[in-house]
Structures are given as C-alpha cells and as structure tokens.
C-alpha cells in the first residue's frame, strides 16, 4: 500500500487533490481580473489544487476550480482546507486568513486599473507586510515567489488583541495619519 501511495503521490494526483491554495478576491463590485488571471495561469503550471473565489470578476478560470460568492460557512470550509491563502487586501479576508493561521499573500487592488475606488488596499497590505504578518504581492507575475515567501512566515495568526477587527482598523488609521 505504501508503494502505491508513493507512486500516486509522485504523479501528483493526491498532491493536487488534498493540497489547496485558496485565492479570494472578495465581494467588491469591481472586477479583479489581474489576480484571477494570474492565479489561473499559476494553476496551469502547479500540481497543487487552486480554488479561486472570483467575486464579481467576469473572467472565468480555465485551469482550476472557481466560485463567485459563497455563504460564509461554505467559504470557511475552503479557508480551513487551504494550505496558503492569496487574497485582495480587504481587511475582513486578511483577518480571516490570519485567524485561521494560514500563510497569506495579499495582492492590493489598484485604482489606476479600475480595481477599486482608491489605493487604500495598498496601504493596508504594506502595513501588514511590514509587520511580517503577510507577504504583499504588487506584481502578480511574481505570485508563485510570493507564495513561497509566505510559507516561511514563522508567527502565523494574530495575537489575542489583534483578533478584534476594530483594533486592526484603528491601528491602520493611526499609522496612516502619523506617517
């Protein structure tokens, strides 16, 4: 039996089924084609199972599983199974990934690409990256490298007081205005 498992594992069949990279773009009204396209391209090359939550993005992935929006409890099941989370820089998704103690890559939406109304996601991602909580990925062509870097984060998760979303938002606002 062990020889069979090793043989299947080497082929990548089990690897692709059981290991999951969850990519989430949130539920914002703006499309996030840049991240969906990059994750789909990565899925074509990797042996790991990649699942993308595409939100309102109209681009349909060809190389991996996807869904638009799920009820929270269903989404949490994917989050629990994930080995790594790649997300837009929405505070809610970042906090969920950190609470679940998942290595997290954050790709901020950009105003100049009509992915959001302003560039606040860049500021959030930069702050969390500076604290060593996540890896910010500005260039989606380097997504695979960012995932590898996130896998090396030592202190996954949030401290007790950081688990309150209001604390994180307040800290972000204070840091932003003091810069």
* CATH code: domain of residue 80: 3.40.50.2000
In a domain, 100, yes or no: yes
- Predicted pLDDT at 5: 41
Residue 19 has pLDDT above 80, yes or no: no
pLDDT grade, residue 69 (50/70/90)? Answer: very high
In a domain, 174, yes or no: yes
In a domain, 91, yes or no: yes
Containing structural domain, residue 128 = 12-178
Alpha helices in 65-158 (DSSP H): 72-81, 91-99, 120-130, 143-150
Torsion sign (Cα): 29, 34, 35, 38: positive
- Predicted pLDDT at 14: 45
- Predicted pLDDT at 62: 96
In a domain, 140, yes or no: yes
- Predicted pLDDT at 4: 41
- Predicted pLDDT at 87: 97
- Predicted pLDDT at 6: 41
Structurally, the chain folds into a number of domains equal to 1
Residue 30 has pLDDT above 70, yes or no: yes
Cα–Cα distances (Å) from 161 to 94, 137, 158, 166, 170, in that order, read 15, 26, 8, 10, 12
Q: For the chain, how many helices (H) and strands (E)?
A: 8, 6
Residue 179 has pLDDT above 80, yes or no: no
- Size of the chain in residues: 179
In a domain, 167, yes or no: yes
In a domain, 6, yes or no: no
Distance separating alpha carbons of residues 119 and 132, to the nearest angstrom = 21
In a domain, 3, yes or no: no
In a domain, 127, yes or no: yes
């Amino acid at each position: 039996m062990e020889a069979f498992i090793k043989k299947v594992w080497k082929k990548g069949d089990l690897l692709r089924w059981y290991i999951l990279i969850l990519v989430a773009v949130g539920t914002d009204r703006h499309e996030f084609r840049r991240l969906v396209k990059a994750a789909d391209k990565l899925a074509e090359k990797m042996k790991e199972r990649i699942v993308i939550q595409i939100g309102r993005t109209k681009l349909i992935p060809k190389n991996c599983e996807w869904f638009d929006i799920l009820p929270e409890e269903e989404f949490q099941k994917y989050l629990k199974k994930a080995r790594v989370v790649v997300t837009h820089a929405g505070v809610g998704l970042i906090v969920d990934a950190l609470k679940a103690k998942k290595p997290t890559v954050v790709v901020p939406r950009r105003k100049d690409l009509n992915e959001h109304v302003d560039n606040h996601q860049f500021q959030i991602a930069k702050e969390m990256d500076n604290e060593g909580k996540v890896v910010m990925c500005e260039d989606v062509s380097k997504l695979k490298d960012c995932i590898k870097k996130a896998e090396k984060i030592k202190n996954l998760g949030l401290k007790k007081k950081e688990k309150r979303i209001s604390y994180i938002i307040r800290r972000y606002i204070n840091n932003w205005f003091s810069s």
